[in-house]
Amino acid sequence: MSAQLDISNVSKIYPGRRGEDGIHALQDVSLKINKGEFISLLGPSGCGKSTLLSIVAGFQTVSDGFILQNDRELVGPSSTRTVVFQNYALFGWMTIQKNVEFGLKAKGVPATARARRARELLASVRLSGFEDKYPHEISGGMKQRAAIARALAPDPEILLMDEPFGALDAQTRVLLQEEIARISTEAGKTVLFVTHGIDEAVFLADRVIVMSPRPGRVRQEVVVPLPRPRTAEMRADPWFVSTVNELWETLKPDWQKEEKQ
Ligand SMILES: Nc1ncnc2c1ncn2[C@@H]1O[C@H](COP(=O)(O)OP(=O)(O)O)[C@@H](O)[C@H]1O
Ligand SMILES: [Mg+2]
């Protein structure tokens, strides 16, 4: 069976401003992702993670190479690929329920079915009882839960997440990591999850793709043998601990360079 997503020799150069060189964000990135796989894309800031994610989302074009989704060239955004950002702008003037329904309305789903589906999704991210709240009335963690429900609403094949828990406090982040591991498995979604958190990348993924600093390339791939569902105790698993340490040793020089800049 061919991969659901086939990223083939993708390079990206952002054009420079007049008289300046362009920014070489990605160089020859190839990555095949199978249906239902959870892939963490790990690397220091500026290595092109968000660029790759937004190319897969269809928001940016490649400078070279191509991407296939189910053997067809991927062009432009699609409701088969939805995105959760760090600061997902939920519509402030809509209730949580209406925010989740939004993508279904665009797809022409009738009102009753829409309402039912949104309630189911909100229950799956444990937000039952908060349907009628507005975004400013709920916590950051709850907003990200709502953003996940909204991204799942059109029943996408692929969920794209760009540092979705980056703005949350450490405890909430751990809770949401466990949630997204559970939800993506239950819903059978393929996930491409961008993070600079080593621990988070390993905890969530079937495979961790480690990127090098600019221009971003795939430098290493780590297959994670931990079973699912992923649970908190796995962070103490000897394999987990030593893998996180090894990745830290690999990535440390990049972080040190980043810090000096
Ligand atoms: N729209 C853009 N125009 C020009 N340069 C960009 C744009 N987006 C990102 N870049 C540059 O491309 C490089 C990679 O950025 P990005 O993909 O955001 O990395 P990451 O998400 O890993 O931090 C950075 O040097 C960044 O400044
Ligand atoms: Mg980024």
Which whole number is the average pLDDT over 10-29?
Answer: 92
Q: Whose CA is nearest to atom 12 of ligand 1?
A: 25
Q: Whose CA is nearest to atom 18 of ligand 1?
A: 50
**How far, in Å, from the CA of 63 to the mean position of ligand 1?**
14
Residue 25 Cβ contacting ligand 1 at under 6 Å: yes
Give the number of the ligand closest to the Cα of residue 54.
Answer: 1
**How far, in Å, from the CA of 48 to the mean position of ligand 2?**
7
Residue 49 Cβ contacting ligand 1 at under 6 Å: yes
Residue 13 Cβ contacting ligand 1 at under 6 Å: no
Q: What is the pLDDT of residues 99-117, one digit of tens each?
A: 999 988 888 899 999 999 9
Which whole number is the average pLDDT over 11-31?
Answer: 92
Are 213 and 46 in contact by the 8 Å Cβ rule? The answer is yes
Atom of ligand 1 nearest to the CA of 48: 17
Which whole number is the average pLDDT over 213-218?
Answer: 92
Q: What is the pLDDT of residues 57-86, one digit of tens each?
A: 999 999 999 999 999 999 999 999 999 988
Cα(115)–Cα(189) distance, rounded to whole angstroms? 22
* Amino acid at position 100, single letter: V
Query: For residue 200, what are its two tokens?
Result: 């988070």
Give the DSSP letter of residue 228: S
At 193 the pLDDT is: 98
Sign of the alpha-carbon dihedral angle for 148, 153, 159, 160: negative
Are 190 and 35 in contact by the 8 Å Cβ rule? The answer is yes
Cα(171)–Cα(141) distance, rounded to whole angstroms? 10
C-alpha of 11 from chain center: 20
Residue 47's contacts (CB-CB under 8 Å, 6 or more residues apart) are: 211, 212, 213, 214, 216, 254
Residue 15 Cβ contacting ligand 1 at under 6 Å: no
Atom of ligand 1 nearest to the CA of 45: 23
Residue 23 Cβ contacting ligand 1 at under 6 Å: yes
Which whole number is the average pLDDT over 194-206?
Answer: 96
**How far, in Å, from the CA of 59 to the mean position of ligand 1?**
13
Confidence category of residue 1, pLDDT binned at 50, 70, 90: low
Cα(162)–Cα(197) distance, rounded to whole angstroms? 12
Give the DSSP letter of residue 58: T
Q: Whose CA is nearest to atom 8 of ligand 1?
A: 51
**How far, in Å, from the CA of 115 to the mean position of ligand 2?**
33
Are 78 and 160 in contact by the 8 Å Cβ rule? The answer is no
